[in-house]
Structure 1
Amino acid sequence: MRGHPADFGLLRQLWRFRSYGRAHLKVLLLGVGFRVAELVADLAQPWPLALVIDDVLRGGHSHGPLARLVSPLGGSPLAMLTAAAVAVLVITLASGTFDYLGDRVMNGAGERITAAIRADVFAHLQRLPMAFHDRQAVGELTSRISTDTDRIEDGLVDLFSTLLPGLLSIAGFAAVLVSVDWRLGLIAISCAPLVFVTASRYTRLTRQAARHQRAAEGRLAGYVAESLQGIRTVHAFGRHDLHDARFATDNTSALNAGLQSVELRARFTPLLEAATAVGTAVLLWAGGFGVLSNWWSVGLLVVVASYMRDMVKPMRSLSRLALTFTQGAASAERVAAILDQPLRPPAPPRPLPRRATGRIDLYEGSLDYGRGPVLHRLNLVVRPGERIMLLGPNGAGKTTVLALVAGLYSLTEGQLLLDGLPIAQLPRPWLRRQVAVVLQDTFLFSGTLTDNLRYARPEAGPEEIASAADAALVTQFAAELPDGLNTEIGDHGTGLSGGQRQRVGIARALLLDAPVVLLDEPTTGLDHTAEQLVIRALTRLVKDRTVIMTTHRPALGSLATRTVHMDGGALCGPAPGISLPSTT
């Protein structure tokens, strides 16, 4: 039977992640070996019963493999009965042991494979440019890293623990059936095509359902994450009903997709049972007729019927793999969509000073996020130690200039240089040590205050951390906390005021000790007292550094040595003359 073209596409999606299994190939092959040993034990299971029926109950003589093994014990019924009972115990124990070892080895490898995939996806995701993250929902990406990688694991593990052993089992049972009696063997395996036709039909039906279900679950996870991130706004405006309604819509979509998958699974089992029943009915009639005609013994018919029953089990397992592989392939597509996103090409090796002087040159700079240009042929020079304040209405492009200097985005056209070197071509680790950023709302991670300060420079020692905290006036409020700088804080700095979070952000920048500092409205939303404390800390931060800041607050503007007016992504008035330094 020729497979549907898309069936092979399912395995191709999972096969893409084969490199993760290659690292555990020896363990996976060991698991396959245990499955083969289990198959051998299963092949031996019906023969003790055949021995009892033919040699003990009917007083005949069995020609099965077990009869030949126990023939030295003599032909007495009691000896045969004892040998059959012992054989049942040994065979069952062996089958259970190999089943346990196979599951233990396969599932352990599957967990390690999933952990490796998840780690690579997370690492790749973190390093993708901001332009990618601007287009994605956080919850959707979280769903891909957690749920989708688990379903890839299910597909990859089932490939080794179910597909390969299942094919071996079917081949083994079929070969033994034909070797025992070719007529009964052909009758028994005649139901196989009917089972696989049913499974093929089931696969095509479930493929689209699985894709719809994963997409619906991803949207739901994305909306949940967005709502929880904005829970303060939800409470502030009392719009719980709005979020309930949106959640209900997405939840209903996920429910409908899940119910469609449940319906297909429920429909498939009776169809498979019916296909199996056809073969069983034919075997019983033909086998019973053969026994009545003395073509073969009752024990042999029992063995063949048992083999057929056991052969149908892997057929059912393989058929049910359609759902696992379909879900795994749908998840593999979603994970691969992340891994296929190109990273920023590595910067060519070049000798770089430990510390930049801080000169910034922006020449004919234009930027388009994909929704229209936000900068238009912008020219700007910031000399070392100069403190520039960008002024202009909202949407003028001020924050975009800071994002470009920080290396978060790349120009669509033009050049942006740091000390005469194109920022887009500089190694990211080096650039991060040259540019410190203090945002409008400093993001703090869960952990201690010390952890959040050390985030800027992990190798910083306790004395350096304490010095930065003292200079940024963090020590002033940390002294009142239960454990000082070792106090645990929640996500987003829960428990700290806006001004306190800003001072932690300034301490980070001080600890980094970068020659270039970017300030993006760092005092917005603060009361007068908090603003004065933050400006005191900023005064220490900007000393002897190149600074570009955006602000609407006169108090912060007093730190600037020059103002630059922007509107509509361009400078207001004639652009300053620029002498672009050589980049060679």
Structure 2
Amino acid sequence: MRTPFTPHRPLLRFFRGFGAPYRRLFALGVGMRLCETAADLVTPWPVAAVIDHVLGPGASRGSPLGPLLGVLGTGRTAMLTAAAALVVLVALVSAAFDYAGDRLMNGAGERMSAAIRRETFAHLQRLPLSYHDRQTVGGSASRVITDCGAVKDALVAFCSVLFPGVLSATGYAAALLVLDWRFGLIGVAAVPAVLFLGVRNRRRGHRAARRRREAEGELTALVTEALQGIRTVHAFGGHGVHDRDFAAGSRGVLSAGLEAVDVQARRVPLLESVTAAATAALLWTGGVGVLRGWWSTGHLVVALGYLTGMVAPLRALSKLSGTFAQGQASAERVAAVLAEPCPLRAPVRAGARGLPHRARGRVDFAGVSMDYGDRRALHRLDLKIAPGERIALTGPNGAGKSTALALVAGLYRPTRGTVRIDGTATADLPEEWLRRQVTAVLQETFLFAGTIADNIRYARPDASPRQVRAAAEAALVTAFTDGFPDGLGTRLGDCGGGLSGGQRQRVGIARALLADAPIVLLDEPTSGLDAEAERLVVAALGRLVAHRTVVMVTHRPALLETATGTVALAPAGPGPATGRPAGR
């Protein structure tokens, strides 16, 4: 079980579970990086050997690779050739280990980030509707796509730059100390200065990155909302309103982005200054040592190479501060989603033992109240619906009719009271079982991009083409799809683009028929349809509601005629709302 996230708990501890499956890959990658570092430490020695043994006097205190230069002969040209071959060989070995390390460690980072993205999306889908009621679609999409992308960039940067850079800098610093303690002290003294600059700027960078991610999330939500309502934008000519809102949001993103740019721009010159000071100190110390005979010129060249090698990854790390700050800000937003409690339904509870494959269809409301924040939508509803009854809920807007349907479907849990199906509270029923017992046709059927058959099969992904065809015929969908070149295989645009309102409703009814649930919820399924479309939809609904328990919300006479009883709900108030079906 993942440790709960709080602002004071390290993010690495929260996300560490995602990296557990890839420990072997990471360990192997570490081994490759160690080998690469060892090869890099050898790189300057062929040059030192040339300086000491070919161009210099050939002092015995020269390069330890000096004896290798004589492999091809003792002439100067032969020794130069051997040194050049060594340079190429060491570079190839280093490149091979670099490639293997990158593949292993970056692969681990990519797999880990993909796991984070998958779990974030899966968890987001399963959060209760009360959570989604408080969020915008664009904001939630931004968490899955943009924020998880920033987390991925940070993870890959950690695997490909940060960890290898720290390993390399540590190796070079240790090599400087082994070469000569004075060289080592100069190199090690540069590290605290670099770290101080990094810590000092990281805080500013993190604040700027957090501001930027929040502003980008709001901007994404604004764009998503405008595009979802593009027909309304065109109908009312509201382009200017959205242009102004977008410009205001863009200014917020720009302001945070400029602050991040300022932090990044200051870091490089400061680091260059520290590097220059360390190089000057080492050059002066090394030069004095060469003049006094403490070490050879080749040793000074190696020391300068090691110092450059040590500072180079530190410079690269400093440029990553923006990536890590952005990644941390995004990781906090992702962690906040994953930390949202997701109500789990136990597979079997005491009151849910011995569940049949198919419910009888009895629905009971016992003192049910439902609040949305400070607003009460339903107050003390008592209602008993026998199997096979078709009850119509009527009443003014705000009386809680749609809320009652949502409670039967288990989309919300009542604030007070209990909703039972066949005597068991919906909160105690396994979610998978409950979804098989209750289906719904809403005021506007949502269709996904894909074929008409795919949208019908959404209720039962394992349904055969023959079963999909039968449901489509029963819902009168084939009455219009048979005129399409591709029939039920006709592809739809977003939200069912290409179909009329009545046609979309019939597809929704076919979907509900294929689900074959014993309890059917109808929420104004014929609202907004013309007379002919309503006639066809009611005819299709007649087949759906046969021999099933039906709870419907409607004011249309054509649909009310199919009800066996009605219950009038009043707006939520201090008194009880008691439902007693009135027979027709």
Code of the residue aligned with 1:371 in structure 2: it is: D
Do structure 1's residue 560 and structure 2's residue 558 form an aligned pair? no
Whether 2:466 is the aligned partner of 1:463: answer: yes
Give the Å deviation of 1:434: 0.8
Against the structure 1 CA distance between its residues 470 and 340, is the aligned structure 2 distance closer, same or farther, given a 3 Å change threshold? same
Aligned to 2:379: 376
Aligned mates of 1:569, 1:533 — CA distance in 2: 35
**Alignment partner, residue 88 of structure 2:** 89
Equivalent position to 2:521, from 518, 521, 525: 518
Kindly provide the CA deviation profile for residues 358-398 of structure 1, in whole angstroms up to 9, marking residues without a partner as x. Answer: 11110110111213221111111111111111111111111
1:414 to 410, 413, 417: 417
- Residue in 1 that maps onto 2:257: 258
What corresponds to 1:429 in structure 2?
A: 432
> Structure 2 vs 1, CA of residues 287 and 573 (structure 1 numbering), >3 Å: closer, same or farther?
closer
Structure 2 distance, partners of 1:371, 1:460, is: 43
Partner of 2:175: 176
**Structure 2, unaligned runs of 5 or more:** 1-6
Alignment of 1:482-493 (within 5 A): 482-493=485-496
Match of 2:152, as an amino acid? E
Give the letter aligned to residue 439 of structure 2: A
Q: Could you tell which deviates more after superposition, 562-571 or 490-499?
A: 562-571
* Alignment counterpart, residue 35 of structure 2, candidates 34, 37, 56: 37
- Structure 1: 4+ residue segments shifted above 4 A: 71-75, 570-574
Specify the code of the residue in structure 2 equivalent to 1:392: G
- Contact in 1 for aligned 2:186/2:282 (Cα 8 Å): yes
**Correspondence list, 1:94-243, <5 A:** 94-243=93-242
Tell me what 1:338 maps to: 337
> Could you tell which deviates more after superposition, 31-40 or 410-419?
31-40
The Cα of 1:520 is off from its aligned counterpart by 0.4
Q: How many residue pairs end up in the alignment? A: 570
Instruction: Tell me the secondary structure at the aligned position of residue 411 of structure 1.
Output: coil
Deviations 1:18-37 (A, max 9, x none): 22222111112222222212
Q: Give, in angstroms, the shift of residue 73 of structure 1.
A: 5.8
Instruction: Provide the rounded CA distance (Å) in 2 between the counterparts of 1:316 and 1:195.
Output: 9
Q: Which amino acid aligns with 1:462?
A: P
Aligned equivalents of 1:384, 1:194: Cα separation in 2: 77
> Kindly tell me: are residues 210 and 550 of structure 1, through their superposed partners in 2, closer, same or farther at Cα, counting changes over 3 Å?
same
Give 3-state SS (helix, strand or coil) of 1:363's partner.
strand
In structure 1, what is the Cα distance between the partners aligned to 2:347 and 2:96?
A: 56
Secondary structure at the aligned position of 2:65 is classed as: helix
Counterpart Cα distance in 2 of 1:187 and 1:545: 84
Q: What letter corresponds to residue 471 of structure 2 in structure 1?
A: A
Match of 1:4 in 2: none
CA shift for structure 1 position 512: 1.1
Distance 1:576 1:237, change over 3 A: closer
Q: Measure, in 1, the Cα distance between the counterparts of 2:65 and 2:149.
A: 44
Equivalent-residue separation in structure 2 for 1:10 and 1:48 (angstroms)? 51
Q: Is the 8 A contact 2:389 2:549 kept in 1?
A: yes
Query: Cα deviations across residues 175-208 of structure 1 (Å, max 9, x unaligned)?
Result: 2112112222222332222111111111121111
**Structure 1 residue matching 2:467: 3-state secondary structure:** helix
The one-letter code sitting in structure 1 at the alignment partner of 2:401 is: K
CA distance in 2, matches of 1:302, 1:351: 81
Of the three residues 7, 12, 29, the one matched with 2:10 is 12
Question: Structure 1 residue 112: deviation in Å?
Answer: 1.7
Alignment match, 1:499: 502
| TM-score, normalising length: structure 2 | 0.94
Aligned to 1:477: 480
Range with bigger deviation, 421-430 or 76-85: 76-85
Alpha-carbon distance change, 80 to 10 in structure 1, aligned in 2, over 3 angstroms: farther
Write the distance in 2 (CA, Å) between the matches of 1:380 and 1:283.
Answer: 87
| 1:442 and 2:445 aligned | yes
CA contact (8 A) 1:110 1:153 kept: yes
Amino acid in structure 1 at the alignment position of 2:566:
T
CA contact (8 A) 1:510 1:541 kept: yes
Measured after TM superposition, the shift of residue 295 of structure 1 is: 2.4
| Structure-2 change in CA distance of 1:431 and 1:570 (3 Å) | farther
Alpha-carbon separation, structure 2, partners of 1:295 and 1:371: 82
Contact 1:449 1:487 in 2 (8 A): yes
User: Is 1:80 aligned to residue 79 of structure 2?
Assistant: yes
1:58 to 56, 59, 63: 56
Any conservation in 2 of the 1:436–1:517 contact (CA below 8 Å)? Answer: yes
The amino acid across from 2:14 in the alignment is R
Alignment check: 8 A CA contact 1:396 1:570 kept: no
Conserved 8 A contact 1:31-1:161: no
Which one is further off, 18-27 or 73-82? 73-82
Distance (Å, rounded) in 2 between the aligned partners of 1:387 and 1:135: 33
C-alpha displacement of 1:291: 2.1
| SS of equivalent to 2:578 | coil
Q: In structure 2, give the amino acid aligned to 1:487.
A: T
Partner of 2:311: 312
Q: Per-residue displacement from partner, 1:87-137 (whole Å, max 9, x unpaired)?
A: 111111122222222222222222222221111111111111100011111
1:228-266: per-residue Cα shift (whole Å, max 9, x none)? 111111111110111111111111111211121111111
Residue pair 1:10, 1:326 contacting (<8 A) in 2 also: no
Structure 1 runs not aligned, ≥5 long: 1-8, 579-584
Deviation at 1:286, TM superposition (A): 2.0
Whole-angstrom distance in 2 between the partners of 1:574 and 1:136: 31
Aligned to 1:581: none
Q: What is the TM-score normalised by the length of structure 1?
A: 0.94
Q: Residue 139 of structure 1 contacts residue 226 of structure 1 at CA under 8 Å; is this kept in 2?
A: yes
In the alignment, the residues of structure 1 paired with residue 345 and residue 69 of structure 2 have an alpha-carbon distance, to the nearest angstrom, of 71
Counterpart-to-counterpart distance in 2, 1:526 and 1:407 = 28
Identity %: 55
Question: Which residue number in structure 2 is paired with residue 5 of structure 1?
Answer: none
State the secondary structure of the residue aligned to 1:417.
Answer: strand
**Cα separation, 2, equivalents of 1:534 and 1:368:** 33
- Aligned pairs for 1:253-332 (under 5 A) are 253-332=252-331
Larger deviation, residues 310-319 vs 547-556: 310-319
Supply the distance in 2 between the matched residues of 1:192 and 1:92 (Cα, whole angstroms).
27
Task: Determine the C-alpha separation between the residues in 1 that align with 2:578 and 2:184.
Answer: 89
Inter-partner Cα distance in structure 1 for 2:67 and 2:355: 82
Q: Distance in 2 between matches of 1:297 and 1:234?
A: 77
Structure 1 vs Structure 2 CA RMSD: 2.0
Conservation of the 8 A alpha-carbon contact between 2:48 and 2:62? no
Kept in 2: contact 1:11–1:325 (CA 8 A): no
User: Would you say the 8 A contact 2:129–2:411 is kept in 1?
Assistant: yes
Shift of 1:344: 1.4
